[in-house]
């Protein structure tokens, strides 16, 4: 059974600081997704990582994938309040593209 574990589950940061969210998964997969969810809203796609060594960056967020270690990271650089949200990683778990989600990391960025 494919399992996806994120840590930390809760993260309180000060503005301007850097931090990394980790996503470990339990089986071989070359495809990993990061989503953002604001309170009361739906999920918004952030990154799609489709091969070992893939790195994607958007603004203050950078995601990477190491399929050998079964690990993806989401790095936050110089956090700002607008990044406060819950971040989910998801791994493709089936032949039809269905996703297995981690439990999410709730990020709170404080002034």
Interacting residue with other proteins among 60, 70, 99, 108 (CB under 8 A): 99
Nearer to other proteins, 50 or 78 (CB): 50
Interacting residue with other proteins among 21, 25, 33, 67 (CB under 8 A): 33
Interacting residue with other proteins among 12, 48, 52, 110 (CB under 8 A): 48
Interacting residue with other proteins among 31, 56, 60, 70 (CB under 8 A): 31
Q: Nearest Cα to 78, choosing from 101, 102, 61, 57?
A: 61
Distance of CA 86 to the CA centre of its chain: 9
R_g of the chain computed on alpha carbons: 13
Binding of other proteins at residue 43 (CB under 8 A)?
Answer: yes
Under 8 Å between Cβ of 104 and 7:
no
Binding of other proteins at residue 42 (CB under 8 A)?
Answer: yes
List binders of other proteins among 7-26 (CB under 8 A): none
The site for other proteins, by CB under 8 A, has a size of 22
Q: Is 34 exposed, middle or buried (0-12, 13-18, 19+ CB in 10 A)?
A: buried
């Amino acid at each position: 059974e494919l399992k996806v574990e994120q840590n930390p589950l809760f993260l309180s940061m000060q503005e301007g600081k850097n931090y990394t969210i980790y996503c470990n998964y339990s089986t071989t997969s070359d495809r990993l997704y990061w989503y953002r969810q604001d309170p009361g809203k739906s999920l918004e796609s952030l990154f799609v990582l489709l091969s070992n060594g893939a790195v994607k960056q958007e603004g203050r967020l950078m995601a990477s994938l190491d399929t050998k270690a079964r690990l993806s990271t989401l790095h936050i650089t110089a956090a700002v309040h607008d990044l406060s949200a819950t971040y989910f990683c998801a791994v493709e778990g089936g032949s039809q593209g269905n996703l297995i989600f981690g439990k999410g990391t709730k990020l709170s960025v404080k002034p």
